[in-house]
Amino acid sequence: MPNLDPNQVKSSMKHLARARNDLFGASRHHFILNPPLSEAEVLAFEKLHAITLPDDYRHFVSHIGNGGAGPYYGVFPLGQMDSTGEEFESWNERDGFVGVLSESFPLRDAWNDLSGRPSEKLLETDLEEYERQRDEFEKIYCDAARTNGAFPICHIGCALRIWLVVSGEEAGHLWLDRRADDTGLSPLTLKNNLRATFSSWYEEWLDDALQTLR
């Protein structure tokens, strides 16, 4: 997927902002992009994590905007995530949520191993034991190693997120993380069923947003 055109993206944002579009999530970002990062800042991030960002995403944060307006509630600034719905917070590798970026992303196909999840019947009969088993299940199910080689770039609501893969065979692709509702991790696809890259995902959202004005 070619890099997004900075002038076209910024022009579209101005058009959408003037129209006061009520697209889902727009009240969070108001179609405003953050200032782009400098080349030195991008290089520093890559050096810190021993990775090279996918070209299209790298171009976006360094020439268009370091997060801000985008699909759902917007694109996170590089190295940050929206964990509270109010403020962005920096994440760190091995912090219990983000794994090791330089290690290959371990998945190729959708994954949802629910073995170990406690029965709902137990919830009705022994709440304490249910919560103990649920905690044990989530330690395994939400292990940060499951998303090694990737980091979150977007929040879609209810603790569901989109991750960008930066290492391994899946590098450059986006994955949907629905572990918060026990439906696992899966490759993100576009409306044409092709695998989503950052640029194709962003462009599809932008086209759909502009379509609502016609």
pLDDT at position 17: 87
CA distances from 121 to 109, 118, 129, 182 (A): 31, 8, 11, 17
- How does pLDDT run across 91-125, given as a tens digit for each residue? 999 888 999 999 999 999 999 999 999 998 998 89
The 10s digit of each residue's pLDDT in 158-171 is 889 999 999 999 99
Residues 6+ apart with CB under 8 A from 164: 54, 57, 150, 151, 152, 153, 174, 198
Q: Given this model, what pLDDT does residue 63 score?
A: 97
Which structure tokens are listed for 178?
Answer: 């629905």
The Cα–Cα gap between 58 and 43 comes to 10
Mean pLDDT, the chain, whole residue set: 93
Query: Can you give the residue ranges of every domain in the chain?
Result: 6-211
Exposure string of 17-50, with b = 16+ CB inside 10 Å and e = fewer, is eeeeeebebbebbebebbebbeeeebeebeeebe
Mean pLDDT of 144-156: 96
Which pLDDT does position 167 carry in this prediction?
Answer: 98
Q: Is 154 helix (H, G, I), strand (E, B) or coil?
A: strand
Half-sphere exposure of residue 157, counting CA atoms within 13 Å on the CB side? Answer: 7
Please give the pLDDT value at position 30.
85
Is residue 5 within 8 A of residue 199, CB to CB? The reply is: no
Closest CA to 49 of 201, 164, 138, 140: 164
pLDDT exceeds 60 at position 23: yes
pTM: predicted TM-score of the whole model, two decimal places = 0.93
